[in-house]
Structure 1
Amino acid sequence: MQIIDLSKTVIDNPKAPFFLRIKIKANKRFMTKVMLRVLGLPFRLMPKDFEGWADDSIRKLGVHATTHIDAPLHYGSTSEGQPAGGIEAMPLDRGIGPGIVLDMSHKAEGDPITVADIKAELARIDGEIKDGTITLIRTDRDKFHDEPDFWKRGTGMSAEATEWLIDQGSRVMGIDQWGWDVPFQFHIARSKAEKRDDLFWEAHRVGIRKEYWHMEQLTNLAALPPTGFTVYVLPLKLAGASASPARVIAILDGDT
């Protein structure tokens, strides 16, 4: 069975910006022996090879700080005219489906991905997006995930391209850069230059009109073929959360 891991390793990253900071602390093994003594087991009756069990604490891990999937609640308080659901409301079957990789690594920094870009790539790979397809957008910006300016790098999806994918039946999609939209500085500069109030976070805000879920900070998309694999996305069941870290994998067809 060939499994491709599409998730980042969750690791201490003290040089990351505060909103991407992760801190994991290993607790002292001896403290578990102290706990057992308090519970009533004398030290002399503890097995000679018992060092105390390993234990760790996640001191800081934002739900958007590593590979994760966003819920409609992240985009706004409502979706399709109803209260937007948190990540625990995502149907599990939505996170399992045939995958397709659309190579957008040629797109320049800040240049949004359009419907025309997607259609051209589908024609190149002879691919099709249909109901239940999990669409993965490859930008190759995952190679910068350890850099402090990772969040400033990338192309990004336009609102029109996002809505087009939803209309084809792809309600779960993902990208291998920091965010689904173009990085903030490009949206801000364009909004100012064109004096427009409809540009910022435009692809995310599609979720207010049409319910969908997207993944950010995927990795290893270059290791996948364009088609011929199944994607598995399993977020944590966090009540009322706008997103969840997720272990995302792909299994090549025929290897299930």
Structure 2
Amino acid sequence: MPRRFVDLSIFLENDVVSDPPAFAPKIQYFTHENTFEQIQPFFPGLQRHQLPDGEGWAVETVQLSTHNGTHLDAPYHFHSTMNGKLGASERAIAIHEVPLEWCFQPGVKLDFRHLPDGYVVTAQDIEAELARIGHVLQPLEIVVVNTRAGSRYGQPDYVSSGCGVGYDATMYLLERGVRLTGTDGWSWDAPFVHTARKWADSGDASLIWEGHKAGRDIGYCHLEKLHNLEALPPDGFIISCFPHKIRGASAGWTRAVAIFDEALVPPAPRAQP
């Protein structure tokens, strides 16, 4: 049966809002017209006109955080330890240690686009959405959440848009064997601007990064800044998201892709408010 591939990744690019300004990627492009000076030292005496059409190569230099673009967070990003609720706490694994089998599994999409910006998804919300789509979670399935942030990518409010997934909701997934999750928002947790208001009112620091910190109890990974989740059905597809192998790093860039049969037609989208 024919397969269809859906790109779930955003571009790495300049001048598009994908991160707070201080964390934005920076890409410098060198074209065929301006790289002769890079080539000439390898070939003493070479003249520009001797190259075919006088052209050099194209190459780029990139200044990145491991958390720019669509990327996979390792448990080490969340905390120094993991698996506290599975026995004794262990050293949190870095991105080069993430099991490859976590990164190529059946996918499940939860549609939370109707939830307001800053909302913190609960375990009850997860249960209700799984019931709506008629899916029973299986160990190692990759669960991605489609939030309003996906429609705001590149806009000034992207970083502050969408809901986040709270501690109890994250643990609901992890306790059922899920080890890799994802979001089309800037963060798995609710945008900081909303959490900051709650923290200012309550003084409860456990609200800060609560979904991420679930990794202290059960180690897991999540994808951030996914794209095009609207194109996916609720289930019946595979997600491939192998991370770049950066020794000791807290995250790695990935070209996340969904793979599913052409015969699987996505249902009508959830009505938006």
- Whether TM exceeds 0.5 here: the answer is yes
Residue 11 of structure 2, aligned match among 9, 12, 35: 9
Deviations 1:123-164 (A, max 9, x none): 111112111100010113112111233111111101000011
Q: Does 1:51 align with 2:55?
A: yes
Give the deviation of 1:36 after TM superposition: 4.3
Residue 118 of structure 2, aligned match among 107, 110, 113: 110
Q: Does 1:68 align with 2:76?
A: no
Q: Give the % identical residues.
A: 34
**Distance of aligned partners of 1:156 and 1:126 in 2 relative to their CA distance in 1, 3 Å threshold:** same
Secondary structure of residue in 1 paired with 2:205: coil
Aligned-partner Cα distance in 1 for 2:148–2:243:
23
Aligned-partner Cα distance in 2 for 1:217–1:14:
13
Aligned-partner Cα distance in 1 for 2:57–2:155:
34
Give the deviation of 1:35 after TM superposition: 4.6
Aligned to 1:101: 109
What is the number of equivalent residue pairs in this alignment?
254
Length-normalised TM-score, structure 1: 0.91
AA matched with 2:24: R
AA matched with 1:55: V
Secondary structure of residue in 2 paired with 1:121: helix
AA matched with 1:4: V
Residues 17, 148 of structure 1: 8 Å contact kept: no
Length-normalised TM-score, structure 2: 0.86
Give the deviation of 1:217 after TM superposition: 0.8
Secondary structure of residue in 2 paired with 1:137: strand
Residue 84 of structure 1, aligned match among 72, 92, 99: 92
5+ residue gaps in structure 1?
Answer: none
Residues 135, 173 of structure 1: 8 Å contact kept: yes
| Superposition CA RMSD, Å | 2.0
Bigger CA drift: 38-47 or 224-233? 38-47
5+ residue gaps in structure 2?
Answer: 84-88, 264-273
Aligned to 2:137: 129
Deviations 1:75-131 (A, max 9, x none): 111112122111111111110000010111111121111111111111111112111
